[in-house]
Amino acid sequence: MKMNKANMALAITLGLTVAAHAGSSSTTQIAPTTTQAVYISGSSVFRTQIYNGLSDLGLSAQADDASGNSQFTFTGTPNTNKVSNTTKAGWGTLTSAFTNTSVTVYVSLDGSVQGIHAAVNPSYLVYFENVETGGGYGVGGGQGGFGTGGASSPLLFPHASTFAFSDVEQNSTVYTSTHLNEIESQDAVAAANGPQGYGEGIVIEPFLWAANAAATASNVSNIDPSEAGLLFSGGALPLSYWTGNAADSGSTAADQVVLTGRDTSGGIRIIEEDLAPYPTTSEIYQYGIGITSGNAGGVWADPATLAAGAVWGPASGGAGSASTDINIDGGYATGSKEADAIIYPGATPAVAYLSWNDAKVVTNPSLSTSGWTTTPVAGSIINYNGVNIVTNTSGKYPQYNVAAVQNGEWPFWSYVHLFESSTVSAGSGYDSQDFGPGVVASIVYEVAQESPTTPITAILESTVNVVRTQDGASVVNNQFSPQ
């Protein structure tokens, strides 16, 4: 990731911290012609739901944006035609101000932890995409996670965030100096039998483990928490952990299993560390495809751009980074690039932790939107602690065992949160009182429409019979859930 010298000098002069993205070409915001402007950062895992939710509200994305992008801009006057006409959304009447205010919604998603950082610290600026500048940023730009999505590069401008989506709680990060107000969905409140109880958040976001083709061929079909913890601590394990064959000692690349995953901006990484358990304040060690030993880890190669024959290597000769820190050493900036690493054709067995949405390319590589130099190959979705999370992988999308999450068999999930920035006055103004609840309603509506023939990416809280009291805590029966 690079920031041009003029932009960096400006940031230093102003005393600001700027989250730079590759290809940024402007520091001036084109003023929106709408009444209000909203700035959203945070979880890249949740990008599709946010994009589709804004569309459900009748807002229009600029021409080169798409639901797979991590950066997009919407404009228009919201309406609740879809949201209000479904009982599944679990939402009542939204305010008249929400449906009578023209708004520009800027979205730039580079991780849950980054989002919380930006929400707590208004001086931490995120690059957003100007309105109708002829290009869009996708999720393919290597470590920065932003590859050009349009015919020309967009103009970007730095700005403080208004909201942050996160799949971890604020207290799971080091950014706790300012308490953030959280906007909950009515569905979550109903599941908790009242606000501020069990089931806080918007919806439930499930995760899973996947294996590449080489690991699948070597019968790597399950991972348990202890193995996950060992992988975090060393980055690789002998294949014998899975085969029971003493000859699979890990002495060669073909008889070891390497770990790949997210950089420190990703909330999913914290969730799995908590489950292992593995201290989130300790470094973890991860491999990347196309990285050679000794690489400083500042830029992880985009798997899709690599020719055949690239090998897995650890960043910084094996060094990692603590999940509670913000730096980009040791991991992919987005789940989509992590998934692309799993479907890259290689001889070394590899495993990764992914969201349900990103994992869809593992069983059907044709769903990858990256421009591939070589031909990706399918891997597999593996069991976690002996539990199978897929019921069918022969279709376009994996069919997930949703019941395993609902009844507590599958622990690898988190609540999705929407935090208001410290720049927003909680409970007042258009941002807090009108837009926040409106976009939450649209996302709950979007999740309610998911079915086995679509990528199931999240689960309504009112359909789940278990709760957890904090990230990574054991799931327990939800005695407050409506019968």
- Give residue limits of the domains in the chain: 5-167+416-449, 205-406
Q: Which of 372, 367, 358, 438 is nearest to 400 (CA)?
A: 358
Distance between CA 398 and CA 16 in Å, rounded?
43
Q: Which long-range contacts (CB under 8 A, 24 or more apart) does 295-299 make?
A: 296/329, 297/328, 297/329, 297/330, 298/1, 298/143, 298/328, 298/329, 299/1, 299/142, 299/143
Q: 151 vs 270, which has greater pLDDT?
A: 270
Distance between CA 278 and CA 298 in Å, rounded?
24
| 251: Cβ contacts below 8 Å, ≥ 6 apart | none
The pLDDT tens digits of the residues spanning 152-188 come to 456 899 999 999 999 999 999 999 999 999 998 888 8
The pLDDT tens digits of the residues spanning 234-258 come to 999 999 999 999 999 999 989 999 9
Question: What pLDDT score was predicted for residue 9?
Answer: 33
pLDDT band at 67 (very low <50, low <70, confident <90, very high): confident
- Neighbour tally for 312: CB within 10 Å: 27
Task: Report pTM.
Answer: 0.88
pLDDT band at 382 (very low <50, low <70, confident <90, very high): very high
Distance between CA 52 and CA 350 in Å, rounded?
32
